[in-house]
Amino acid sequence: MTVIGTAPARDLRAEVAHLFGRRRRMSFLIPALVLVYLGYIFFAFDLGGLAGRARMDNAATLLSDFWSYKTHVTLDARSGAVSVAIEGEAKGLYPREKWPDWVTETDGIIRIDLGRGSVVTYQGDRATFTIPGSGDVVIERTPDGVTYTAPPGFPADRISASDAKVMVTGPQGRVSVSRAKTETFRYSPGWELFFFTIDSPFYGKGPLDLVTLAVSGERIDPGQANLALMASEFWNNRMWHHRDVAGALFETILMAFLGTAMGAIIALPLAFLAASNLTPSRGVRFGMRRVFDFVRGVDALIWTIILARAFGPGPLTGALAILITEVGSFGKQFSEALENIDGKQVEGIRSTGANAAQRMRFGVIPQLVPVLLSQVLYAFESNTRSATVIGAIVGGGIGLLLTQAIITQKDWEDVAYYILLIVLMVMAMDSLSGWLRKRLIKGGH
Amino acid sequence: MTEVFLDPAPSDRPPPRLEGEYLRLVRQKRLYSLALLTIFLLLLASGFIAADARNAGGFWDGLHRLGDFPSEVLSEAWRNRGAIPGLILDFVPSLIETVNIAAVSTLIGALVAVVLALLSTRGLARWPRLTTLFRRSMDAFRALPEVVIALVLIYILGGGPVPAMIAIAVHTAGALGKLFSEVAENADLKPVEGLTSVGASWGQKMWLGVIPQVAPDWLSYALQRFEINIRASAILGFVGSGGIGYDLKVAMQWGQGKYDQVVAIFLLLFVTIVIVDQISSYYRTLLVKGHPQ
């Protein structure tokens, strides 16, 4: 007994010690390898030069545009006309009688109150920027170019000047004088004109006024109720294009829905052909599996490009691209699910004398449906996200709006709006697919 | 005694007609299924019509043009077939960049996901009150499509692989974090208790008590993510910057005359994806089932 007992014990100790040693070596080796790889990436991606290439001023514009908007007060040098417009766009132009109260004109002198004591005045070709604590910066347009005088000790990095243009940035806003125009940018928090544009009768009304108007107010347009007018003014907002954005979101979801649903419908019969327990022919099985591998291997990107050539830009092309990719992945997943079904249930049904179709219906399908549904719903959720990217390539849906807004590089408040909507959409789809999974599969409440 | 439990209130009521009741339920269920199916088919049909109407080219017109572009590309590539092996070699550096983007972002994303998952799993969290916070942040990371982050970062950081890498890493952290946390929820807490009893710190408990249990599943998920990320990195290159996707876009913009390049890139991408899929699925079955298929 003792002889038999000790011999394996010694082996065991050596074995454990060896395993521990190996584990200890691995726990140093793997982090070391990861570090070496990251070091290689550091040089391959030129991360060192990144700081030099990064445009932090772009980041600043982006961040400020995300939560604020700017109003331009522009004096045209040739005509002498002054205009006040949100983001300097014609769509956001204030008519003369609706100027905000921080712009005043007395005896031809324009006074712009930027808040906290910062004031800009335009007097002909001269603009004076009064900054509390620093003094007055005077910028003048002369026939030889634009000149400026700053008080002593004024920080130089707040002024960028050339012969053609002088720009001064204060704590509350910015003044820029060029040969063609004098312009002041006043930053205010929020997304202006999000609900109603300036030409709308509802512009500038508080929520309480709006509710009163909607419920009991005099009809502004005798043709329709105030609430209906309000809805149409909001829906057709020319600054934020709510109607187009809603249409784009709908297109994106449509792409995901059509692609996923049709992909699943096409993949199901093919998956039966690829499952080893249902299709006895090895050749058919092998061929089907290679088809799935091929479809998944030719990436969604390539399918998208090929389809875009045939069908042109739009949501249908995106839906077809999702469809083809999903046929590949559903085919694989479904056939694996089919192979994993429990044979006992089928056997039980067989024992009652059921034929092949009945065995399928009562033995296979009830086991299969929950698994397939859950896979399809997961895919639907993740395809909503893919539809955003595919939309950017094929030109449809919210992905297209987003890329267009980013390419123009100035409508960052639109970009923020779209990003917010995309995130909300994906989260909503996530909860919808989770809710449906619970409802349809577990039959729960 | 048992009779009392089975039938606490014996009554004169006739026993319910089980068969009729059963058939009624079956009919009801069938009706519901039929209604659901009808709604689904209606949605599908109207969705198709809506998508077809909003598309630039119609479905039926496009269907027989489907083969035009591939045949155009392939015939031109066939004429220049001698040049293709050389072109494939030319594009290998871009391919390596694409694979590197996917690998680094999977690595970094997975590391962040480990931390987020452990911090947001009930029973394991370092600060149990903050689990909701970490869970919501994972949801937000996951909901942000890569292309959004990538395009914004390109504006700030300029072109190159870094924006794509960060974008994919953020999304990976969210997606893997959720899966990791689901695995960790099912981990056996006894080793953790044992470690607590000997006074281990939170880090030690996680490293020695939880990670060894969940590592195979986590690695398997990470490998699957790597597969997904290779595709994502190719797509991001096409939309934004870096890697073989960008080369593909440039070659496509040239159009005719550069189709041999397009085919070379298609081939490279296809072979890479198939190889990575095969390797990853081999190791995933090995990790999860303990033996190769």
Q: Residue A13: CB partners within 8 Å, gap ≥ 6?
A: none
Supply the mean pLDDT for chain A: 83
Percentage with pLDDT > 70 across chain B = 94
Same domain, A98 and A138: yes
A34 chain-B contacts, CB cut-off 8 A:
107
Q: Which domain holds residue A118?
A: 69-189
Residue A64 lies in a domain: no
- Name beta bridge partners: A135: A131
Q: Residue B279: CB partners within 8 Å, gap ≥ 6?
A: none
Contacts for A125-133: CB closer than 8 Å, 24+ residues apart: A125/A77, A125/A182, A127/A175, A127/A177, A127/A182, A127/A184, A129/A168, A129/A170, A129/A175, A131/A170, A131/A171
Same domain, A268 and A399: yes
Instruction: State the pLDDT confidence band at B145, using cuts at 50, 70 and 90.
Output: confident
In CATH, the architecture of B80-289 is: Orthogonal Bundle (1.10)
d(CA B93, CA B85): 14
pLDDT at position B52, please? 86
Residue B65's alpha-carbon distances to A321, B57, B59, in angstroms, are: 15, 11, 10
Same domain, A267 and A327: yes
**Whether A46 and B160 lie within 8 Å, measured CB to CB:** yes
Instruction: State the pLDDT confidence band at B14, using cuts at 50, 70 and 90.
Output: low
d(CA A215, CA A226): 8
Same domain, A392 and A253: yes
d(CA A316, CA A426): 20
Residue A200 lies in a domain: no
Nearest-Cα distance to chain B for A115, in Å, is 30
Spatial strand order in the sheet of A181-189: A82-86, A68-76, A181-189, A173-178, A165-169, A159-161
pLDDT at position A83, please? 84
Same domain, A322 and A428: yes
d(CA A195, CA B150): 30
A257 chain-B contacts, CB cut-off 8 A:
43, 47
DSSP state of A439: I
Measured between CB atoms, which of A262, A301, A385 is closest to B238?
A301
**Is 60 exceeded by the pLDDT of residue B293?**
no
**Is 60 exceeded by the pLDDT of residue B2?**
no
Instruction: State the pLDDT confidence band at A445, using cuts at 50, 70 and 90.
Output: very low
Positive or negative torsion for Cα B77, B79, B83, B85: positive
A137's enclosing H/E stretch is strand A135-142
- Name beta bridge partners: A189: A68
Same domain, A331 and A393: yes
Residue A63 lies in a domain: no
B52 chain-A contacts, CB cut-off 8 A:
316
Measured between CB atoms, which of B55, B70, B277 is closest to A316?
B55
A426 chain-B contacts, CB cut-off 8 A:
142-145
Measured between CB atoms, which of A296, A310, A403 is closest to B151?
A403
Q: Which of B69, B71, B146, B148 to mutate to test the interface with A (most CBs of A within 10 A)?
A: B148
Measured between CB atoms, which of B69, B140, B148 is closest to A309?
B69
CATH of the domain at A347: 1.10.3720.10
Is the minimum CB–CB distance between B222 and chain A shorter than 8 Å? no
For the residues A237-251, what does the mean pLDDT come to? 85
**Is 60 exceeded by the pLDDT of residue A241?**
yes
**Whether B69 and A310 lie within 8 Å, measured CB to CB:** yes
At residue A436, φ and ψ (nearest 5 deg) are: -65, -40
Instruction: State the pLDDT confidence band at A254, using cuts at 50, 70 and 90.
Output: very high
Same domain, A112 and A158: yes
pLDDT digit string, tens, across residues A353-373: 888 888 888 888 888 888 888
**Whether B266 and A47 lie within 8 Å, measured CB to CB:** no
pLDDT at position B278, please? 86
B226 chain-A contacts, CB cut-off 8 A:
none
Count the neighbouring beta carbons within 10 Å of the beta carbon of residue B215: 12
A111-115, A371-375, B5-9, B16-20: which has the highest mean pLDDT? A371-375
Residue A209 lies in a domain: no
Same domain, A80 and A127: yes
Residue A201 lies in a domain: no
pLDDT digit string, tens, across residues B200-226: 898 888 888 888 889 888 999 999 899
Is the minimum CB–CB distance between B156 and chain A shorter than 8 Å? yes
CA A45 to chain centre: 25
Contact between A45 and A37 under an 8 Å Cβ cutoff? The reply is no
pLDDT at position B16, please? 66
pLDDT digit string, tens, across residues A166-212: 888 887 788 888 888 888 888 877 777 777 777 777 777 777 777 77
Positive or negative torsion for Cα A315, A316, A317, A322: positive
Same domain, A35 and A153: no
Give residue limits of the domains in chain B. Answer: 17-44, 80-289
Same domain, A151 and A106: yes
A38 chain-B contacts, CB cut-off 8 A:
104, 107
**Whether A315 and B270 lie within 8 Å, measured CB to CB:** no
Nearest-Cα distance to chain B for A316, in Å, is 5
The pair of three-digit structure tokens given for residue A6, joined into one six-digit string: 């000790």
Spatial strand order in the sheet of A109-115: A103-106, A109-115, A118-123, A126-131, A135-142, A145-149
Same domain, A84 and A22: no
**Is 90 exceeded by the pLDDT of residue A330?**
yes
Same domain, A142 and A27: no
**Is 70 exceeded by the pLDDT of residue A412?**
yes
pLDDT digit string, tens, across residues A19-73: 888 888 888 898 899 999 999 988 888 887 777 777 777 777 778 777 778 888 8
List the Cα angle A131/A133/A139 in 5-degree steps. 35
B positions 24-43 inside 8 Å of A (CB): 40, 43
pLDDT digit string, tens, across residues B22-72: 899 989 988 988 998 999 999 999 999 888 888 877 788 878 888 888 888
Q: What is the domain count for chain A?
A: 3
Nearest-Cα distance to chain B for A60, in Å, is 9
